[in-house]
Amino acid sequence: MDKNIFPVDMHDRLKSMPEFMGFAVPIHRASTIKFNTVEEFINRRDRLFDGFSYGLYGTPIIRYMEQEIAKIEGGEYCLATPSGLSAVNLPMLALLKSGDHIIIAQNAYGTTREFCKNFLSRIGVRHTLIPADATSIQQSLEPATRLVILESPGSYTMEIQDMQRIAYEAHQHGALISVDNAWGLGLTQLFKFGIDIVCNALSKYASGHSDVCMGSVTVNDRALYERLKTTSFMLGEGVSSDSASLVLRGLQTLEVRLSEHAKRALVIADWLDKQPMVERVICPFRPGDRQHGLFSQYFRGGNGLLSVILKKATDSRVIEMVEGFKMFKIGASWGGTHSLVAPVRGNTFSWLDMRERESWLLRLHIGLESFEALQHDLEEGFATLCAQKIPEPGIAPR
Ligand SMILES: *Cc1c(COP(=O)(O)O)cnc(C)c1O
């Protein structure tokens, strides 16, 4: 028996096989990458941007996926990161130094705001929060302002900033502008509006099945790309080829999933709007929403995410309602096929008006389960909230 069970001649043997024409991009798993010469090994850093030097810094399937994301975002260069959070934070780590100042939208991803408050402040970078629905940053610009970070529609409360105008103001000032486009993947191309850096959470609709954590940073400028890539290299950040494969699979159905999620979300938003216990439905792609006008300037469609602010009710009643849902599971990180509810106390959002802060906000992700079951779940939930007696099945047919 051949004791040599290691595939030392793998590359030669694969090359000698007939062409294999499957539909999936082959998965390349690697830490080590082999070099043919001493010189190639010594100069392997030269391959950081365009070649392959170590599994952590890219494999063919990861580069392939990055190119697909760049196409969707409408940019030139994409860099995969381990999470959406790391994608949003990477530009700050790459571009800022002690003494710098940044501007960030109040409704940006919570952990990113925490990063500014508890991490950047320690290294001497100050930040200013701007209103969730800011249309200008003129008042907040300082001589030291280097970077502006927006998120539209923002997390939970989904306000939209006037990104194009703010990008113009940032550029006049010599600052760069980065947008967390987690909500808008596949629904907008933000470079058209002057955005320099577009970050995304591929954990959401890109992968689409709640089984991957990944993020992306896309830019048009080669020097900016190299700076981001060098920073992620120094931080030891990378993604797995298996995860890239799952993202590529998800992307194939992104368009049809988004439109089906959105179709359902609109019907549910209309229904929620008629419920007596609902203070406000937040669904920017729905005509009539407070920010639908601004939304339509930037986005061409919706998805399955919406928020609902409840009228004042006792905590126990709201908790009973949320825990009683059968279809809507309690959880974060939307974008999969399952329906989710994320309950948050209104007073978490200091920018909402007094009345809205008194109650609860439920962020719903409308999944792809039986639509009738989802509707029934919400009907029962709101009946609980109103403390009406729910008819027993079989006694009073619905
Ligand atoms: C989910 C999300 C993130 C974080 O993405 P992860 O991959 O879960 O780290 C960042 N920003 C926004 C707006 C998000 O919705």
Residues linked to residue 199 through DSSP beta bridges, in sequence order: 180, 217
Query: From the alpha carbon of 154, which atom of ligand 1 is closest?
Result: 13
Please, which pLDDT band fits residue 5 given cuts at 50, 70 and 90? Answer: confident
Please, which pLDDT band fits residue 58 given cuts at 50, 70 and 90? Answer: very high
- In this prediction, residue 260 carries a pLDDT of 98
Q: Which of 82, 102, 293, 307 is nearest to 199 (CA)?
A: 82
pLDDT in tens, 378-395: 999 999 999 744 445 555
Q: Ligand 1 centroid vs 31 CA: distance in angstroms?
A: 27
Rounded Cα distance between 215 and 364, Å, is 22
Ligand 1 pocket check for 180: Cβ under 6 Å: yes
250, 208 in Cβ contact below 8 A? yes
- In this prediction, residue 388 carries a pLDDT of 47
Neighbours of 128 (CB within 10 A): 16
Q: Ligand 1 centroid vs 111 CA: distance in angstroms?
A: 9
- In this prediction, residue 9 carries a pLDDT of 84
For a ligand 1 pocket test, name from 81, 85, 187 the mutation site with the most ligand atoms within 8 angstroms of its C-beta: 85
pLDDT in tens, 150-188: 999 999 999 999 999 999 999 999 999 999 999 999 999
pLDDT in tens, 89-140: 999 999 999 999 999 999 999 999 999 999 999 999 999 999 999 999 999 9
How many helices (H) and strands (E) in the chain?
13, 12
Supply the pTM of this predicted model: 0.95
Half-sphere exposure of 277 (CA within 13 A, CB side): 22
pLDDT in tens, 340-381: 999 999 999 999 999 999 999 999 999 999 999 999 999 999
- In this prediction, residue 393 carries a pLDDT of 54
Ligand 1 pocket check for 207: Cβ under 6 Å: no
Domain 38-251 has CATH 2.40.50.140: no
pLDDT at 398 over 80: no
Q: Ligand 1 centroid vs 45 CA: distance in angstroms?
A: 31
Q: Which CATH architecture best describes the domain 254-386?
A: Alpha-Beta Complex (3.90)
Domain boundaries defined on the chain: 38-251, 254-386
> What are the structure tokens assigned to 306, written together?
């919406």
Rounded Cα distance between 395 and 94, Å, is 64
